Amino acid sequence: MIRRRRLPILKLAFGIAYTLFAVEMYLWYIAPVPIMPRYVVETSYGVRANQPNNVYYQITPECYVRMEMNSKGIRSSREIPYKKSPGVKRIVALGDSFGIGYEVNQDEMFLSLIEQALKQAGIQCEVVNLSVSGHGNAEELIVLREEGLKYDPDLVLVCWSPNDMEDNTRSSLFKLENGELVQINSSYLPGTRINQTLASYRIYRWLCERCQLYSFVREWAGLKAKSLQLFLNRSTNKRVVEVAVNPAGPIPAPVKSASRPSLNPEEQLAVALLREIERESLAHGAQMLVLDIPACGIGNHATDVFPTDPDGRDFGLRVTRPIERFKTIPDDQPLYRKLGHAHLTPLGCRIVSEQLVQRILRERMLESRMSPGARGKRGFVHPDPQTEGLGLYARGDVFELARPSQ
Amino acid sequence: MLFNSYEFPIFFTIVFCLYRLLGDRYRLQNLLLLLAAAVFYGWWDLRFLYLIVLSTALDYSTGLLIGRGSMPWKQRLAVTVWLAFAAVAFLAIHWGAVDFSLRPLRLSVDWLSLWTTDRAIWLAIGFSGIVVLLAHLAYPLMLRLDDASRRRVALTLAIVANLGLLGFFKYFNFFADTFSQLWQSVFGVPPDLFTVRIILPVGISFYTFQSMAYTIDLYRKKLEPSENLLEYAAYVSFFPQLVAGPIERPAHLLSQFQRPRPQIDSQGVSDALWLIVWGLFKKMVVADNMAVLANDAFGPFDGLASQASVPSDGIRLLFALYAFALQIYGDFSGYTDIARGTAKLLGFELMLNFNLPYFAISPSDFWRRWHISLSTWLRDYLYISLGGNRFGPLLTYRNLFLTMLLGGLWHGAAWPFIFWGVYHGTLLIVYRLVGLGGEERHRSLWINILMGLVMFHLTCLGWLLFRAQNMTTVRIFLESIFFHFHGSPESWKVLGQIMFHGWFLIAFQLVQLATGTLNVMPKFHWFLRLNIWIFVIMELLRQTPQTSREFIYFAF
User: Tell me: the pLDDT tens digits for B278-290?
Assistant: 999 999 999 999 9
**Mean pLDDT on A103-130:** 93
Q: Identify whether the C-beta of residue B324 lies closer than 8 Å to the C-beta of residue B298.
A: yes
Backbone angles phi, psi at A69, to 5 degrees: -110, 140
Nearest Cα residue to A157 out of A121, A127, A122, A117 = A127
B103, B501, B542: which to substitute to probe chain A, counting the most A Cβ within 10 Å? B542
Strand (E) or helix (H) holding A50: strand A49-50
Chain A positions touching B538 (Cβ under 8 A) are 23, 26-27, 30-31
**Mean pLDDT on B317-343:** 94
Q: Which residue of A has its CA nearest to B544?
A: A31
User: Has residue B484 got a pLDDT over 80?
Assistant: yes
Chain B positions touching A15 (Cβ under 8 A) are 530
**How far, in Å, CA of B12 to CA of B215, rounded?**
31
**How far, in Å, CA of B210 to CA of B61, rounded?**
15
Of A141-145, A365-369, B249-253, the least confident: A365-369
**What's the confidence (pLDDT) of residue A2?**
55
Q: Which residue of B has its CA nearest to A298?
A: B546
Query: For A31, which of B101, B103, B542 is closest by C-beta distance?
Result: B542
**Mean pLDDT on B59-76:** 88
User: Tell me: the pLDDT tens digits for B3-35?
Assistant: 777 788 889 999 999 999 998 888 999 999 999
**Mean pLDDT on B415-437:** 86
pTM score > 0.95 for this model?
no
Query: For B530, which of A15, A26, A220 is closest by C-beta distance?
Result: A15
**Mean pLDDT on A161-171:** 89
**Mean pLDDT on A326-355:** 91
Q: How far is A219 from chain B (nearest CA, A)?
A: 12
Say whether B182 sits in a helix, a strand or coil.
helix
Strand positions, DSSP E, A259-332:
287-292, 319-320
Q: Scan residues 211-230 of A and list those with Cβ closer than 8 Å to B.
A: 216, 220
Strand (E) or helix (H) holding A54: strand A54-59
Q: What confidence tier does A404 reach under pLDDT thresholds 50, 70, 90?
A: very low
Query: For B103, which of A31, A220, A235 is closest by C-beta distance?
Result: A235
User: Tell me: the pLDDT tens digits for B87-109?
Assistant: 888 888 887 777 777 666 777 77
**Mean pLDDT on A300-321:** 80
**Mean pLDDT on A150-169:** 92
**What's the confidence (pLDDT) of residue A5?**
72
Q: Scan residues 67-106 of B and list those with Cβ closer than 8 Å to A.
A: 101, 103
- In the DSSP assignment, the letter for residue A338 is S
Q: Over chain B, what is the mean pLDDT?
A: 86
How many A/B residue pairs have CB atoms within 8 Å? 27
**What's the confidence (pLDDT) of residue B529?**
93
**What's the confidence (pLDDT) of residue B503?**
95
- A305-313 contacts: CB < 8 A, separation 24 or more? A305/A162, A305/A165, A306/A160, A307/A263, A307/A267, A307/A268, A307/A270, A307/A271, A308/A260, A309/A251, A309/A252, A309/A260, A310/A252, A310/A254, A310/A255, A310/A257, A310/A260, A311/A252, A312/A259, A312/A260
Burial class of residue B448 in the structure, from the number of CB atoms within 10 Å of its CB (0-12 exposed, 13-18 middle, 19+ buried): middle
Q: Identify whether the C-beta of residue B400 lies closer than 8 Å to the C-beta of residue B325.
A: no
* Residue A239 at interface with chain B, using a CB cutoff of 8 Å: no
User: Tell me: the pLDDT tens digits for A71-100?
Assistant: 999 999 999 999 988 889 999 999 999 999
Q: Scan residues 529-548 of B and list those with Cβ closer than 8 Å to A.
A: 530-531, 534-535, 538, 541-543
Is B442 known to be catalytic? no
**What's the confidence (pLDDT) of residue A381?**
40
Cβ distance of B542 and A19 shorter than 8 Å: no
User: Has residue A1 got a pLDDT over 80?
Assistant: no
Query: For A22, which of B101, B534, B543 is closest by C-beta distance?
Result: B534
* Residue B528 at interface with chain A, using a CB cutoff of 8 Å: no
User: Has residue A180 got a pLDDT over 90?
Assistant: no
User: Has residue A385 got a pLDDT over 80?
Assistant: no
| Residue A254 or A113, more confident | A113
Chain B positions touching A227 (Cβ under 8 A) are none
User: Has residue A383 got a pLDDT over 50?
Assistant: no
**Mean pLDDT on A375-386:** 40
Cβ distance of A236 and B103 shorter than 8 Å: yes
Of A174-188, A231-245, B229-243, B317-331, the least confident: A231-245
User: Has residue A344 got a pLDDT over 80?
Assistant: yes
**What's the confidence (pLDDT) of residue B399?**
84
Burial class of residue B68 in the structure, from the number of CB atoms within 10 Å of its CB (0-12 exposed, 13-18 middle, 19+ buried): middle
User: Tell me: the pLDDT tens digits for B191-235?
Assistant: 665 555 667 677 888 888 999 999 999 999 888 898 889 999 999
Q: Which residue of A has its CA nearest to B527?
A: A15
Q: Which region, left, alpha or beta, applies to residue B470 given φ > 0 means left and ψ of -120 to 50 means alpha? A: beta
Q: What confidence tier does B142 reach under pLDDT thresholds 50, 70, 90?
A: confident
User: Has residue A215 got a pLDDT over 70?
Assistant: yes
Which distant-in-sequence residues (6+ apart) come within 8 Å of B154 by Cβ?
A: B62, B65, B66, B142, B215
Q: What confidence tier does B504 reach under pLDDT thresholds 50, 70, 90?
A: very high
User: Tell me: the pLDDT tens digits for A14-73?
Assistant: 989 999 999 999 999 998 889 999 899 999 999 999 999 999 999 998 999 999 999 999
User: Has residue B530 got a pLDDT over 80?
Assistant: yes
| Residue B477 or B306, more confident | B477
| Residue A403 or B476, more confident | B476
User: Has residue A230 got a pLDDT over 90?
Assistant: no
Highest average pLDDT, of B165-169, B380-384, B534-538, comes from B534-538
Strand positions, DSSP E, A293-341:
319-320
Q: Identify whether the C-beta of residue A257 lies closer than 8 Å to the C-beta of residue A265.
A: no
User: Has residue B456 got a pLDDT over 60?
Assistant: yes
Q: Over chain A, what is the mean pLDDT?
A: 81
Backbone angles phi, psi at A88, to 5 degrees: -95, 135
| Residue A4 or A213, more confident | A213
Chain B positions touching A232 (Cβ under 8 A) are 103
**What's the confidence (pLDDT) of residue A391?**
35
Nearest Cα residue to A242 out of A184, A169, A176 = A176
Cβ distance of B534 and A23 shorter than 8 Å: yes
The bridge status of strand A245-246 relative to strand A180-183 is unpaired
DSSP string, B482-519: HH-----HHHHHHHHHHHHHHHHHHHHHHHHHHHT-S-
**How far, in Å, CA of B72 to CA of B57, rounded?**
15
Which distant-in-sequence residues (6+ apart) come within 8 Å of A186 by Cβ?
A: A46
ipTM of the shown complex: 0.73
Q: Which residue of A has its CA nearest to B500?
A: A30
**What's the confidence (pLDDT) of residue B354?**
94
**Mean pLDDT on A137-141:** 95
Q: How far is B103 from chain A (nearest CA, A)?
A: 7
Q: Which residue of B has its CA nearest to A213?
A: B538
* Residue A295 at interface with chain B, using a CB cutoff of 8 Å: no
Q: How far is A17 from chain B (nearest CA, A)?
A: 12
B108, B541, B547: which to substitute to probe chain A, counting the most A Cβ within 10 Å? B541
Q: Which residue of A has its CA nearest to B537?
A: A23
User: Has residue B265 got a pLDDT over 90?
Assistant: no
**How far, in Å, CA of A204 to CA of A200, rounded?**
8
**What's the confidence (pLDDT) of residue B468?**
86
Cβ distance of B530 and A236 shorter than 8 Å: no
Q: How far is B542 from chain A (nearest CA, A)?
A: 7
User: Has residue B438 got a pLDDT over 70?
Assistant: no
**How far, in Å, CA of B40 to CA of B9, rounded?**
12
| Residue B548 or B544, more confident | B544
Strand (E) or helix (H) holding B188: none
CA dihedral B209, B215, B221, B227 (to 10 degrees): 120
Q: Which region, left, alpha or beta, applies to residue A211 given φ > 0 means left and ψ of -120 to 50 means alpha? A: beta
Of B411, B484, B486, B525, which residue is the catalytic one?
B411
**What's the confidence (pLDDT) of residue A247?**
36
**Mean pLDDT on A156-168:** 91
Q: Is the dihedral of CA B26, B27, B32, B38 positive or negative?
A: positive
Say whether A236 sits in a helix, a strand or coil.
helix
Chain A positions touching B544 (Cβ under 8 A) are none
Cβ distance of A26 and B530 shorter than 8 Å: no
Burial class of residue B379 in the structure, from the number of CB atoms within 10 Å of its CB (0-12 exposed, 13-18 middle, 19+ buried): middle
**Mean pLDDT on B354-365:** 92
Neighbours of A213 (CB within 10 A): 19
Query: For B538, which of A18, A26, A232 is closest by C-beta distance?
Result: A26
Q: Identify whether the C-beta of residue B173 lies closer than 8 Å to the C-beta of residue B184.
A: no
Q: What CA–CA distances, in Å, run from B476 to A33, B135, B311, B471, B486?
A: 40, 54, 8, 9, 14
Q: What confidence tier does A246 reach under pLDDT thresholds 50, 70, 90?
A: very low
Say whether A347 sits in a helix, a strand or coil.
helix
User: Has residue B353 got a pLDDT over 60?
Assistant: yes
Cβ distance of A31 and B538 shorter than 8 Å: yes
| Residue B195 or A302, more confident | A302
User: Has residue A256 got a pLDDT over 60?
Assistant: no
**What's the confidence (pLDDT) of residue A190?**
87
User: Has residue A375 got a pLDDT over 80?
Assistant: no
Cβ distance of B543 and A31 shorter than 8 Å: yes
Q: What confidence tier does A368 reach under pLDDT thresholds 50, 70, 90?
A: low
Cβ distance of B534 and A30 shorter than 8 Å: no
Q: Identify whether the C-beta of residue A114 lies closer than 8 Å to the C-beta of residue A90.
A: no
**What's the confidence (pLDDT) of residue A144?**
95
**Mean pLDDT on B137-158:** 88
β-partners of residue A249 are A246
Q: What confidence tier does A243 reach under pLDDT thresholds 50, 70, 90?
A: very low
**How far, in Å, CA of B470 to CA of A272, rounded?**
52
**Mean pLDDT on B247-268:** 89
Q: Which residue of B has its CA nearest to A231?
A: B103
**What's the confidence (pLDDT) of residue B106?**
78
Burial class of residue B146 in the structure, from the number of CB atoms within 10 Å of its CB (0-12 exposed, 13-18 middle, 19+ buried): exposed
Of A354-363, A380-389, B546-555, the least confident: A380-389
